[in-house]
Structure 1
């Protein structure tokens, strides 16, 4: 009975730790988006998450680590350590042989990612103006996105259906996937995500794919 109880207690502690971690990350993301990086405090995150500030420090050490982890989850949609390009939704995009259709599928996936990341991205951009560590983080975000768009462009070229150079395809995709366009049309102008995804997919398909 003692071994069973110890296993139960250990399992419950792991579950509690995972629940605390999820609440902390959700609270951190909300605070970064609403208050900005500079206006966010560990104490406020702890209060929102319903844990002690010491628990936040013990789990994530500091505010920059919370920002980095919140970003990773926003991009991927969960805490799994799987690169976005390796996730099923992007693998399905790459599996589509018709390039116009593929670009429309990618626009739909990207719109979902923008819904998760655009607000946090804006907080990162704002903080980068005064926080050197966040500026370096932003450079890393964009470097990773540039590399990912390079993969999309290369795979598009391999279809033989690309109407522009691989480099131009990469640059166009990179320029249109940082969240600015989504915020302008969806947040400011009131477009629905469906309308945005359809418009973006049509734009990519007609300008990047050969007729």
Structure 2
């Protein structure tokens, strides 16, 4: 019995160590992609910054493009769990709100936190996209996933019967305001606090997309 318990403990600890190593590599890659740019960052530099062997990076992620995708999605979602933001508790809670105006206000708070997480890496990818195909592909993948998510958000909004515009228009407005550009202009460049931006974005969505309640 004791040997079985020991084997289980050793296996669990190895899994924990592997997860810790992956996270160190992801954090190192994120730091270097932002500071140096995706194209100028090498696997050797990532390994050195993470304190691991080059072979360890390749064993965990195969190549730099695959590592970039993981760095992006950890930044976007907040952790390495392979669950779309759309399916995470914070968004499920938003979509469970029956009042559409309240839902948009809550959604703005959640997405503002996402903008804060992805802003440095997003800027680095946008700067590299013209010369680095992997960066361009990552942005294109994100654009498609964002449109898919906004399609689902719009369908859920239409289902409430409180949408003031067509489902397609709701999708387009959400997609256009969820690419990080407004956050960059108003928060990163103009100095708005995240709280002010979230309030403004929630009001924007509500005023443009929700049927006014009769007086």
Q: Give the alignment's TM-score, normalised by structure 1.
A: 0.93
Aligned ranges 1:1-211 → 2 under 5 Å: 6-211=7-212
SS at match of 1:38: coil
Q: How well do the aligned residues superpose, as a CA RMSD in angstroms?
A: 1.6
CA contact (8 A) 2:38 2:135 kept: no
Q: Could you report, residue by residue, the CA deviation over 1:105-159 in whole angstroms, capped at 9, with x for unpaired residues? A: 1100100111111221222222221122332232121011001001111111111
Q: Could you report, residue by residue, the CA deviation over 1:54-109 in whole angstroms, capped at 9, with x for unpaired residues? A: 21112112111111011111222111121111111111111111111111111001
Distance apart, 1:204 and its partner CA: 0.8
In structure 1, what is the Cα distance between the partners aligned to 2:173 and 2:9? Answer: 53
In structure 2, what is the Cα distance between the partners aligned to 1:157 and 1:133? Answer: 36
Moved over 6 A (4+): none
In structure 1, what is the Cα distance between the partners aligned to 2:137 and 2:33? Answer: 17
In structure 1, what is the Cα distance between the partners aligned to 2:131 and 2:94? Answer: 38
Query: How many residues get paired?
Result: 211
5+ long unaligned stretches in structure 1: none
In structure 2, what is the Cα distance between the partners aligned to 1:102 and 1:61? Answer: 40
Distance apart, 1:180 and its partner CA: 1.4
Q: Give the alignment's TM-score, normalised by structure 2.
A: 0.91
